Structure 1
Amino acid sequence: MDSAWFQHCPGVFLATNPEGAIGGFNPEAERVLGAERVRGGSLFEAMHPDHKANVASAWARMAEGEDFGAACQIRDAAGAYRSFSLSARRAPGGAEIYVTIVPTPRISAGRLVVPPAEDLASLPPTAPERVLRAILDHLDISAYLIDQNCMYVMQDGKGCRTGGFEPGQLVGTSVVDLYGPEQEGVLSIKRALAGEPVRVATEAHDILWESIFLPMQDENGEIPVMLGVTLAKNDVAKALAELRVKMELIERQEEVIRNLETPVIQVWEKVITLPMMGVVDSQRVARVMDDLLATVVRTSARFAILDLTGVDMVDTMTASHIFSLLRAIRLLGAEGIVTGIRPTVAQTMVTLGLDLSSLTTCANLREGLRLCIRRMAEEKRGLATPTQ
């Protein structure tokens, strides 16, 4: 008990009798637990009342040769309850019990709290306490416990602030009152309280949250609380919002491009024209048909000129669509005229084997417009001539 190692070791060590009365301690134990507790005090007297029964039960089993291990809260030198992990073993052939005490995270004021800074700094970087605190303080993660009444009993982590709350602020608050009984996350929490591990992604406070809900069983197999760990995915939500904005912009740009590539122009009273350029495929002709027929009806057009001067080639399916478009124009009471047909396009149309006798064509757009004006003038003169 008086060795140099025992006196200078940074760990907390005690020697007690089977009833827990402290008979020996090292300087670190006196510093952490206080002189009045280690000098003639009892380990069980310093223990939190809620933990005494469970610790005493495990302590008694050392008489049967079992090693002791437990987690509980003990008053420290300042008189505040702190969480510790206890390990103990009975001395071989004697009644003395050697106890090792290690500070652990504790639940206090609704937060998961590690030991004070000086104790935490003394631990190695790989210590679970330091790792846990670093995760909660630097990542957008929140950890919380919710009981069977759907009330928060613990809440900690940087992710709490991301959601608009301080760590511990929601303790005593009902998650049902906060988010509503039918919210997906609330329903998942109830499933976890019923014993089912759940993983879910929800959106709240304009943030995407990915959560894992785990039922926490006690020694009797009951589930008094469930553990929730939630990661706030701000970057994902922001990226999705930016993607939606970009997609909407692309759709608007595509609409502008469609209108520019197939503009329907009214060049004269009751005469509209559709100049086409580039490669004409079936999809483009389908869009042309919708726009052109709608314009024929809206303007009460008498002639619709389809100008193919800028079209180098069309496939057989597209040529068939063009003939269908001209027939549709005729059904609406207008006459379709095709201008500017190039030799390659003419050859494709001929290979279809369709009846071209009803197809009105002109060499170019100017000739087509002149034909329309001449026919409308003839119709007016015909109407003006009195019948005999």
Structure 2
Amino acid sequence: MTQHYTSSRDPWEAAYLYSPEALFVANVDGTLSHWSESFGRTVGHAATPGTAFFQLFHDDDREAARAKWSGLLEATGSVELRGRVMTAGNVYASFSCVLRRAPHGQEVYGSLHATSGADDHPAAEPGKGEDADMLRALSDNLPVIVWSCDAAGVITRHDGRGLSGLGLKRGQLVGTNLFDVFANAPEGTENVRRALRGSPSHSMSHVPANNSFWENWMVPIQSPLGNVESVIGLSLDVSEAKRAEEELRLRLLQIQKQQEVIGKLSTPIIQVWDGVVALPMVGVVDSARTADVMQSLLDEIVRTSARYAILDLTGVEMVDTQVANHLIKLVNAIRLLGAGGIICGIRPSVAQTIVELGLDLNSMVTRSNLRAGIMFCINQMRQAASTPATNGSPGR
């Protein structure tokens, strides 16, 4: 905190307060306690009592400044740290800070010096600093890698939280040639070459080393003359989504297999007698299930050379027009294969529906239950065995 010089004030104190150097005094924990007018003009409103010295630094430089400060507590001489500091103009500028701990006591003396050639970065200029801050927030909090390379393939930016998943540090590949580093990944480098030729690209890639999956976008940056000067790339780690997708696919496959097993169990084809197969149908019968049953039953008749096929509807509570038509078609198809089709176990509700639908089952053999259906087939085969064979279906 600055004070005006008076004749009664110690000249050394006045020299400190009005020094052209940006001087400050901080407690051992980094809290600012006093500073010169030059320091106040340099950092502006940030110079308030109780402010932590580290809070003046850019987010990316703050941890390094804190580490240097910790080293000061063990050092006997001065310590220099560098970083971007928020200035009174609301921009980040690069500074060198020289620190020295007081020989006796818990104070730390320091001075700020702007470094030559420093790049100033607006901290809140609309459309510039805000965009940069948003990009920084995205790259710091999302599993992404933001990178860029020049026309020769030299990497000029390499950043993002996604790098840690690949065992890389931020900026580790800056200055290296992308085509040399990823020579073993020709598909990825070909996408970069395509972008350098002016065509944006989008691709998926797999890293076997850690079984990670990445979605990549590459955008060419052109000069006013239309020449591609660089390529900006964004890679998003989609491993979790891929694994969830694969898990969902496996679950759906498992459900499909379970449904197939349930379908076979719910419509088992049983050989109840030599030359006689039966199909007990249970539960809800719809058009899709009836179509599957038709194919399975016809295949079984051919495989076993069955002479009769019994459709047992004892467990069926209700049918509609389409299902009833399918059953009629099924019996007709059984006849075309040279076998006889018998329908048994029609419940009263199903019989009423068939009558209301106006379907004619007079040409079909029906029996009250499965036992009666089996007895009919046995009697028909006995009669056929005791009399000469005639043309027509086995049931006649």
Structure 2: gaps spanning 5 or more residues: 1-14, 25-37, 41-77, 96-114, 116-120, 390-396
The alpha-carbon distance between structure 1 residues 101 and 288, as it changes in their structure 2 partners (threshold 3 A), is: closer
The alpha-carbon distance between structure 1 residues 299 and 312, as it changes in their structure 2 partners (threshold 3 A), is: same
CA distance in 2, matches of 1:257, 1:101: 68
1:331-368 Cα deviation digits (max 9, x unpaired): 11111001111223223333454553320111100111
Alignment pair present for 1:294 and 2:299: yes
CA distance in 2, matches of 1:381, 1:298: 26
Does the CA-based 8 Å contact 1:199-1:210 persist in structure 2? Answer: no
Q: How many equivalent residue pairs?
A: 286
SS at match of 1:227: strand
2:364 corresponds to which residue? 359
1:35-89 Cα deviation digits (max 9, x unpaired): xxxxxxxxxxxxxxxxxxxxxxxxxxxxxxxxxxxxxxxxxx999xx9989x9xx
Does the CA-based 8 Å contact 1:277-1:309 persist in structure 2? Answer: yes
TM (norm. structure 2) is 0.60
In the TM superposition, 1:58-207 aligns within 5 A as 102-103=93-94, 136=139, 139-150=142-153, 152-163=155-166, 168-169=172-173, 171-174=176-179, 177-180=183-186, 183=187, 186=189, 188-195=191-198, 198=200, 200-205=202-207, 206-207=211-212
In the TM superposition, 1:1-388 aligns within 5 A as 4=18, 6-8=20-22, 102-103=93-94, 136=139, 139-150=142-153, 152-163=155-166, 168-169=172-173, 171-174=176-179, 177-180=183-186, 183=187, 186=189, 188-195=191-198, 198=200, 200-205=202-207, 206-217=211-222, 222-382=227-387
SS at match of 1:357: coil
The alpha-carbon distance between structure 1 residues 84 and 368, as it changes in their structure 2 partners (threshold 3 A), is: same
Does the CA-based 8 Å contact 2:141-2:161 persist in structure 1? Answer: yes
Deviation at residue 150 of structure 1 after TM alignment: 4.1
2:99 corresponds to which residue? none
> What amino acid is aligned across from residue 157 of structure 1 in structure 2?
G
SS at match of 2:296: helix
Give the alignment's Cα RMSD to 1 decimal. 4.2
CA distance in 2, matches of 1:332, 1:9: 105
CA distance in 2, matches of 1:131, 1:4: 39
Structure 1: gaps spanning 5 or more residues: 11-25, 29-76, 88-99, 105-118
CA distance in 1, matches of 2:122, 2:153: 37
TM (norm. structure 1) is 0.61
Does the CA-based 8 Å contact 2:298-2:334 persist in structure 1? Answer: yes
The alpha-carbon distance between structure 1 residues 176 and 346, as it changes in their structure 2 partners (threshold 3 A), is: same
* Aligned-pair identity (%): 39
Q: Which moved more, 1:219-228 or 1:337-346?
A: 219-228
